[in-house]
Amino acid sequence: MQARDRVQSLIESSGILPEVSGPGGDVLSDALLVTSELATNAIRHGGGIVGFSASVSADGLLLAVADASADHPVILVRQPGTFPVGGFGWPLICRLARSVEILPAAPGGKRIEVLVPLDGAQDPPPVPDRP
């Protein structure tokens, strides 16, 4: 909650988004969702948040969340017809962020840096090569 509040204040004070009730609302919601998922993953799977930063630039919202675990996030393989709880956060982060980088952090943890676009536009996903 603290991370979300900090990011919302940062974005709103930056003046780069139109009013939150208008077109900027979806962009703000995406940024807050990514913030929540990164923080939640660090708490639930990474041994807790050991570092957090957020900044806004012309490229978007740069978030960095560090935790105590060196383990990288994984995407769960889902069997058809099953409905396991959880496992949606990391794919959602990867989908909403323009870039995602996982870096080692001392001592033995990791830092995940993501760039979330604030202009409402994302780079199109890569199209797989067809044989």
What's the token pair of residue 40?
A: 């939640």
| Burial classification of residue 116, based on how many CB atoms lie within 10 Å of its CB (0-12 exposed, 13-18 middle, 19 or more buried) | buried
pLDDT of residue 16: 78
pLDDT of residue 124: 45
pLDDT reading at 103 higher than 70: yes
Region 90-101: mean pLDDT is 95
Question: Does domain 2-77+86-116 bear CATH number 3.30.365.10?
Answer: no
pLDDT band at 23, cuts 50/70/90?
A: low
DSSP 37-52: HHHHHHHHHSSSEEEE
Which range among 8-22, 28-42, 109-123 shows the weakest confidence by mean pLDDT? Answer: 8-22
Strands (E), 73-120: 99-105, 109-116
pLDDT tens track for 37-94: 999 999 999 999 999 999 999 899 999 999 999 999 987 777 788 777 677 899 999 9
Mean pLDDT of the residues in the chain:
85
| Burial classification of residue 55, based on how many CB atoms lie within 10 Å of its CB (0-12 exposed, 13-18 middle, 19 or more buried) | exposed
Task: State the pTM of this model.
Answer: 0.82
